[in-house]
Structure 1
Amino acid sequence: MAHPLDTTFQALADPTRRAILTMLLEDDMAVTDVAEPFEMSLAAISKHLTILTRAGLIQQEKRGRVKWCKLDPDALKAASVWMQSFGQFEPVNLDAFERFLETELPPDP
């Protein structure tokens, strides 16, 4: 069985699936609305949605005869925590950077 992070990153590896997640940041969407901007079949979009669902990144539910997709807000938490462990570098001091630029760049005329 794959580690949950493996499944998450595999789902995120595809640009179509990342685009779908970005769309779902705005609001829940019907599957047909998700498929609309893509030049691929509804069956292909459904496969992408299945992968996102299995990874726990989205949830799908039927409302009447329409299947809806919804972003799971906590889905990327584990991946985010894991990636932050690599952020042990000192943050950029923007004030110091601005002072540096002022000394290096010529003044505006």
Structure 2
Amino acid sequence: MFDYLVPILLLTASNVFMTFAWYGHLKFTDRPLWIVILVSWGIAFFEYCLQVPGNRIGYRSYNPAQLKTIQEIITLIVFVVFSTLYLGTTIRWNHLVGFALIVVAAFFIFLD
């Protein structure tokens, strides 16, 4: 169970860091770009500290395509929460349909 669950938890935590690194600066468009880049790189360091072990542990139970698919689904979930709560954007029906189609695609990745 450890090898199945821990990678998902680590990849989720790493994705929260990466989402802030990639999109968190959008609330601070008045800051110089070079500062935003340095801060984003600093945040990304912590993302890698979680992502690399998550994938290493996950590789015991999942193949690379499954690991990548897990990461993409986590990315979508984290992004929806982040963009609505932090950035204050609205997720529209067409976004949800597109995300749902990606989830359907993920289903096929996990078929034997």
Higher strand share: 1
TM-score by length of structure 2 reads: 0.29
Larger radius of gyration: 1
